[in-house]
């Protein structure tokens, strides 16, 4: 039976037969939030160390992924390398105190929820392509960054057509 790539056997760790173990993962994922998404190629890479501790299994290491962002100002797209350090304690299901603790049942530990949480929390909520991004103009599809907008013209109000409906002095 094939085990999913994020599921690791920890029987040797919880029974005290091993002092720790290194795990390397290369898994394509498509995790994302509104304007940022992990791209599946190249796959997410994680170099982790699983260490038995008195409260369970400590998982720590480094995660690398490529993230595609969409600028919240001008809607340009770009890719960026994301490298984060992770360190979380996984507790046996019977010892978990809080609802949001990372747990494992039996001899298998699923790393996916923890890695997904850590990667998504490292992404910006409102990515910006550069600090000097000026965004889009109010007129039709003009990009302030390109200088292609009609530079001398004032933006027209969408309500300007209603101005002729009123008589003089109304």
**Residue 158 clears pLDDT 70, i.e. is over it:** no
Nearest alpha-carbon partner for 46 in 66, 65, 32: 65
Whether pLDDT at 160 is above 80: no
Percent of the chain with pLDDT over 90: 51
**Could you report the per-residue pLDDT of 90-104, keeping only the tens digit for each?**
998 877 677 778 988
Q: Are 100 and 69 in contact (CB under 8 A)?
A: no
Supply the pTM of this predicted model.
0.76
The C-alpha atoms of residue 11 and residue 15 are separated, in whole angstroms, by 6
Give the pLDDT of residue 142.
53
Q: According to the model, what pLDDT value does residue 1 have?
A: 55
Is 61 in contact with 114 (CB distance < 8 Å)? no
Q: From CA 109, how far away is CA 90, in angstroms rounded?
A: 8
Q: What is the mean pLDDT of the chain?
A: 84
Output the pLDDT for position 165.
Answer: 74
On the question of pLDDT at 159 being above 80, the answer is no
Q: Do residues 135 and 72 make contact, with C-beta atoms less than 8 angstroms apart?
A: no
Task: Give per-residue pLDDT as tens, 22-78.
Answer: 999 999 999 999 999 999 999 999 999 999 998 889 999 999 999 999 999 899 999
């Amino acid at each position: 039976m094939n085990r999913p790539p994020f599921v690791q056997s920890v029987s040797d760790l919880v029974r005290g037969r091993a002092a720790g173990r290194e795990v390397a993962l290369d898994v394509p994922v498509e995790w994302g939030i509104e304007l940022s998404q992990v791209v599946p190629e190249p796959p997410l890479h994680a170099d982790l160390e699983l260490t038995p501790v008195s409260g369970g299994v400590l998982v720590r290491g480094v995660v690398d992924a490529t993230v595609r962002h969409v600028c919240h100002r001008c809607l340009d797209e770009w890719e960026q390398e994301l490298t984060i350090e992770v360190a979380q304690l996984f507790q046996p299901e019977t010892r978990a105190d809080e609802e949001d603790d990372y747990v494992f049942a039996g001899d298998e530990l699923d790393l996916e929820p923890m890695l997904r949480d850590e990667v998504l929390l490292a992404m910006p909520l409102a990515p910006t392509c550069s600090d000097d991004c000026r965004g889009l103009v109010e007129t039709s599809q003009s990009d302030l960054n390109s200088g292609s907008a009609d530079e001398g013209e004032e933006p027209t109000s969408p309500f300007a057509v209603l101005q002729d409906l009123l008589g003089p002095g109304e």
